[in-house]
């Protein structure tokens, strides 16, 4: 989307300060510092027992009442530090950028929504959610839009030497697109044709901007 260049430049220009062994608090503090110009953006972290050492996930939420995007770094609770090198920092930066853009899409949805319309859901991913809850969540038109952008980003990242529209055409054969796999697994053994059709349409529309 239109903020991608600024987000990625901010991360890449500050790569050196994230290389090495850092405490989780230091990672968050440095992210908040380099994105300090974005008053509607805040980084936090949480720890979980099922995340391996030196691994991570990134989630987020948009609080429409305070117009604030929260990006949550999820780390292992077996330690309080993580080690980044030149190879592992790239996927970390990608997920941070992807999540900021995902939540910015929700922010724009809310800002352009009539006052009587339904609010954007606050949660980015449902942790430990039931299949029924996740299906309801991923069926939401706002989530389809935001996840379609995630998928378009993943297509360009994981299949850089292929025509992205050809990848989309054959998306059922892909294995590297985690956001699409989330949809595929959540709706396995059920009819999700209408949702899939809308998701494909949104991915196609986002492709030039991802």
For residue range 130-186, what is the model confidence (pLDDT) as tens digits?
688 899 999 999 999 999 999 999 999 999 999 999 999 999 999 999 999 999 999
pLDDT confidence band for 3 (50 / 70 / 90)? confident
pLDDT single digits (tens) 87-107: 999 999 999 999 999 999 999
Where among 52, 85, 118 does a domain terminate?
85
pLDDT in the model for residue 124: 38
Where among 21, 51, 85 does a domain terminate?
85
CA nearest 61: which of 1, 146, 180? 146
Same domain as 79, residue 10:
yes
Residue 156 lies in a domain: yes
Where among 85, 111, 145 does a domain terminate?
85
pLDDT in the model for residue 129: 59
Same domain as 201, residue 140:
yes
* Distance between CA atoms of residues 79 and 85, nearest Å: 18
Residues 7-15: contacts with CB under 8 Å, at least 24 apart: 7/97, 7/100, 7/101, 8/93, 8/97, 10/34, 10/35, 11/93, 11/96, 11/97, 12/93, 15/89, 15/93
pLDDT surpassing 80 at residue 128: no
* Total count of domains within the chain: 2
pLDDT single digits (tens) 173-210: 999 999 999 999 999 988 999 999 999 999 999 999 99
pLDDT single digits (tens) 42-83: 999 999 999 999 999 999 999 999 999 999 999 999 999 999
Percentage above 90 pLDDT, the chain: 87
Same domain as 8, residue 81:
yes
Same domain as 81, residue 8:
yes
Q: Which structural domain, as residue segments, surrounds residue 27?
A: 4-85
pLDDT in the model for residue 119: 45
pLDDT single digits (tens) 20-29: 999 999 999 9
Crossing angle (nearest 10°) for helices 178-186 and 131-139: 120
Residue 105 lies in a domain: no
Backbone angles phi, psi at 96, to 5 degrees: -65, -50
Residue with tokens 């989780």: 24
Both tokens of 92, joined, read 């970390």
pLDDT in the model for residue 126: 45
Q: DSSP string spanning 95-163?
A: HHHHHHHHHHHHHHHHHTS-TTSPPPPSBSS-TT--HHHHHHHHHSHHHHHHHHHHHHHHHHHH-TTS-
* Distance between CA atoms of residues 105 and 45, nearest Å: 22
């Amino acid at each position: 989307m239109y903020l991608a260049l600024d987000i990625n430049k901010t991360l890449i220009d500050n790569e050196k300060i994230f290389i090495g062994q850092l405490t989780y608090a230091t990672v968050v503090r440095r992210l908040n510092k380099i994105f300090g110009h974005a008053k509607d953006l805040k980084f936090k972290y949480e720890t979980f027992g099922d995340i391996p050492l030196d691994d991570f996930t990134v989630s987020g939420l948009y609080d429409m009442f305070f117009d604030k995007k929260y990006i949550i770094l999820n780390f292992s609770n077996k330690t309080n530090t993580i080690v980044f090198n030149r190879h592992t920092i790239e996927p970390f930066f990608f997920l941070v950028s992807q999540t900021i853009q995902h939540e910015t899409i929700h922010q724009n949805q809310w800002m352009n929504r009539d006052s009587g319309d339904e609010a954007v859901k606050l949660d980015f991913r449902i942790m430990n959610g039931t299949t029924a809850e996740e299906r309801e969540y991923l069926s939401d038109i706002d989530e389809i839009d935001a996840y379609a952008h995630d998928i378009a980003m993943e297509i360009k990242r994981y299949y850089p030497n292929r025509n992205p529209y050809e990848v989309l055409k054959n998306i059922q054969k892909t294995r590297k697109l985690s956001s699409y796999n989330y949809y595929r697994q959540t709706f396995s053994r059920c009819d999700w044709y209408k949702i899939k059709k809308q998701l494909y349409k949104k991915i196609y529309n986002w492709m030039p901007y991802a």
